[in-house]
Chains A and B, each alone.
Chain A
Amino acid sequence: MSQPSLTLPTPGQQAGRNRRLLEILGAAAIAATFIFLVLTQPADIAGGLGSVSALVALGGFLLGAVLLIVGVLPTLPTATVVLMPVALVLNIVLGQLMGSTGLPFYLDAIGTVLIAVLAGPAAGAATGALSSIVWSFINPTVLPFAAGAALIGFLAGTAARYGLFRRFYLAPVAGFVTGIVAGVVSAPIAAFVFGGTAGAGTGAIVSAFRAMGDTLLAAITKQALISDPMDKAIVFTIAALLVYALPRRTTFQFPFVRRYNVLAGKEPAKRNA
């Protein structure tokens, strides 16, 4: 996998280039959609439902997420692909387990962050997007948030790549920053596709900002900036705790962890090194 090829270029390399293109197109679709939504929102929200914005938000974000998945998935080693379903179920099960403690957070990205730390930004982004798509089989309202979930996975992987998970106190900081970005990107979806948020607590915060005369997008963005950074800081901390609880034999199986020295501590001794 990590050894350089000794043979002539094969058609596989052309395919690899095509996949790279798909990844870039996916990221571009997500970025363009967000910029369009932010630029056009003032005219739309006063005009009623904002149907064009809803269509653009749904279409652009979903297209970007699907392109990312199709581009990234075939490049991942089997060990990572097999871990993905586990991560997706963890997103749901651990979220529910946490819900039983009565904490006011959603914590539905723990599995995504776990994969991102072990397998890198691309794998994290694909896991986030897939998580929303698979979860939508049970709860369709999470489907439009696929791009935001992909972004969380990507940022978590990038944080791991630059060693933010090597120092324990840096993981929540990375989570906090990720939460800010993810909240700002997800707010237009909540505003234009659903016209609000589902939770009682988040709804109350949005109502408070609306009462002060904010536009809907501004109110939901401010609410996201209150809830999301805290939530993601906790998620990153839990993911870091879990990664360090895993045996090193397991974590150092992942090429990403070995290559970028993601975790503190030494690689377990190799037999014939």
Chain B
Amino acid sequence: MAPRLNPLTTLTAAAAVLVITTAASSWAVSLTVAAGAALLAAVTGAARRVLLGAGVILAPFWLSLLVMHGLFFPEGRTVLASWGPARITAEGLGFAVDMGLRTSAFVLVLLLFSFSVRVPELVAALAAFRLPPQFGYVLASTLMLAPIIAARLEKVRQAQESRGLVVGKGFGNRLAAVRLQMVPLVLGLVHDAGVRAQALDARGFRRTGPRTTYTQVRDSEAQRGFRILAALLAAAAVAVRVAASLSGGGQA
């Protein structure tokens, strides 16, 4: 992808696709969207990360759905098999597959967006969109802080282990170990935040008014047009769904 898209364009596209998928509420559409997102991830070279991330989230979710609705679905009429209170119904399995596919599409599309977007560009684009600059700060800072804090927790653990911390089998022992790591970690982080607040305040963080950004975000007439079109399509999909539900006597 030689010319990078504006993050707002990809965000709008992802949101519109999700709204349309939810409004359509058919397993075929959900499956198409999920497959499309996986294909797009493969084209942009993010396939491994997206699919791995989605798998970790979706595998327990699918399992839980299939057990929950596959075995217990009181509204089901077509009983395929039953033992005791558990009975497998066609409606229950259908419901589980519908919901599972819709959530799969949801997760895949959003992960594709978050793994392909460059956070500094997104922050700059959001600031131009007149969101408070603090929002961009919290978003970017969290995503960058996560590895630092993980490393810090590791250091705290090593320090405590060198002072004789041994995590034993017992529950109380483990709880004490968690306390020995958590308190120094939180103390250090809160202290750091105080120092950072003074530095930011000295640089006019709380000033209102326009800000200069060093990140240039590309935008074009075509992308602006596409964003409006995507928003209109999503709105149309919602309108059609609401109209259908009203005329269908509450059958959504």
Contacts and interface: CB of A to CB of B under 8 A. Distances in A.
Interface of A: 12, 15, 40, 43-55, 58, 69-70, 73-74, 76-79, 81-86, 88-90, 92-94, 97-98, 101, 114, 130, 133-134, 136-141, 143, 193-200, 202-204, 206-207, 210-211, 213-214, 241-242, 245-247, 250, 253
The 7 closest A-B pairs by CB, nearest first: A195-B99, A140-B110, A51-B25, A203-B64, A85-B141, A43-B250, A210-B72
Contact of A141 (B68, B75, B103): B103
A79 B194 contact: yes
Contact of B153 (A51, A93, A247): A93
Contacts of B205: 78, 81
B252 A50 contact: yes
B208 A52 contact: no
A245 B149 contact: no
A87 to B, nearest CB: 9
A52 B245 contact: yes
B36 interface: no
30 contacts: A43-B252, A51-B252, A52-B241, A52-B242, A52-B252, A53-B252, A55-B23, A69-B135, A74-B134, A78-B200, A78-B206, A79-B197, A86-B149, A86-B193, A88-B138, A101-B171, A140-B106, A140-B107, A140-B110, A141-B61, A194-B99, A195-B65, A195-B69, A195-B103, A196-B61, A200-B60, A210-B73, A211-B72, A242-B186, A245-B186
Given A97-B153, A211-B72, A86 B189 contact: yes
A82 B73 contact: no
Interface in B99-148: 99-100, 102-103, 106-107, 110-111, 114, 131-132, 134-135, 137-139, 141-143, 145-146
A101 B245 contact: no
Interface stretch (B40-48, B158-166, B174-182, B218-226): B174-182
B238 interface: yes
Contact of A82 (B106, B178, B200, B245): B200
Contacts of B74: 210-211, 213-214
A190 B139 CA distance: 25
Given A140-B106, A143-B110, A198 B60 contact: yes
Interface of A is mostly: helix
A139 B238 CA distance: 25
Interface residues of B, number: 79
Contacts of A98: 178
B190 A55 contact: no
A198 B146 CA distance: 24
Contact of B134 (A76, A89, A134, A198): A76
A51 B182 contact: no
B57 A139 contact: yes
Interface string B47-63: 00000010001001101
Interface of B: 19, 22-25, 53, 57, 60-61, 63-65, 67-69, 71-75, 85-86, 95-96, 98-100, 102-103, 106-107, 110-111, 114, 131-132, 134-135, 137-139, 141-143, 145-146, 149-150, 153, 171, 174-175, 178-179, 181-183, 186-187, 189-194, 196-197, 200-201, 205-206, 208, 238, 241-242, 245, 250-252
A51 to B, nearest CB: 4
A206 B68 contact: yes
B53 A55 contact: no
Contacts of A250: 190-191, 194
A93 B149 contact: yes
A51 B57 contact: no
Nearest to A42: B250
Contact of A78 (B23, B139, B201): B201
Given A139-B57, A194-B61, A198-B64, A85 B191 contact: no
Contacts of A49: 25, 95, 98-99, 102, 252
Contacts of B182: 94, 97, 242
Given A73-B132, A89-B146, A46 B110 contact: no
Contacts of A196: 61, 64-65, 68-69, 96, 99
B45 to A, nearest CB: 19
Contacts of A52: 241-242, 245, 252
B68 A203 contact: yes
